[in-house]
Structure 1
Amino acid sequence: MAEFTRDPDGSRTRQLIKPIAGHGEAVIKAIRLRPPRYRDIMAHGDPTQLIVMEGAALPNTDMGTIGKYIAALSLDAATGDKIDPGLLEQVDYRDALALTEAVEDFFKAASRAATPPLTN
């Protein structure tokens, strides 16, 4: 996974490769993604769907859904304030890919935790 700090509350913090301009004089140097909550999941759904073709199931990441999660979960790491989703247009492509991986990881980790162990 891309370089993130995992915080005790489950959030992920990334120092941005290229800081983004906030409102006024503000500069956002790091983004913290808080874990998704019930209302986020009910509003946006699972970002990965299975495409079933001829007996094979292939995962497909819906980037539109990922974008909705990034917009909903992004906080300025320095202030804890929610980042205006319009400001995310400035995010460097490397940071965008890292944020995408972090959102996917929230769901992968939850799936692993929710899967009961196999028994004989």
Structure 2
Amino acid sequence: MQFSLITLAALAASTAQAAHSITLYEQKSYGGKSFPFSTNGVHSLGGRYLGSAFTPYTAQSYKFSSNDGCCVHFCYKGVDKGYRCSSSNQPTSSSLIDKVVIGCTLSGLKC
């Protein structure tokens, strides 16, 4: 049986995984709303309106997978709260998180 190049390319694309990804969770122990990201850049968690007031989402736990040495910086209210460059699961983060910055060089990752 021969596979066409298109079939092989489609199969490879469907089974490929992101080299790095993070999922943040609104509650401790990976509970509540989840926020998955797998691309480099600045990612805010967004928010919601409670009545007429906008309330930003925050995360209290996360799962980070890095198979390529890329890093994630954790931010809260514009302040750098730390970073990870190796895979890590944290059921309780040391700070609230409202934004992450993902990239492959530490020097370019700023809150």
Q: TM-score, normalised by structure 2?
A: 0.27
Flag the structure with higher strand content: 2
Flag the structure with higher helix content: 1
Q: TM-score, normalised by structure 1?
A: 0.26
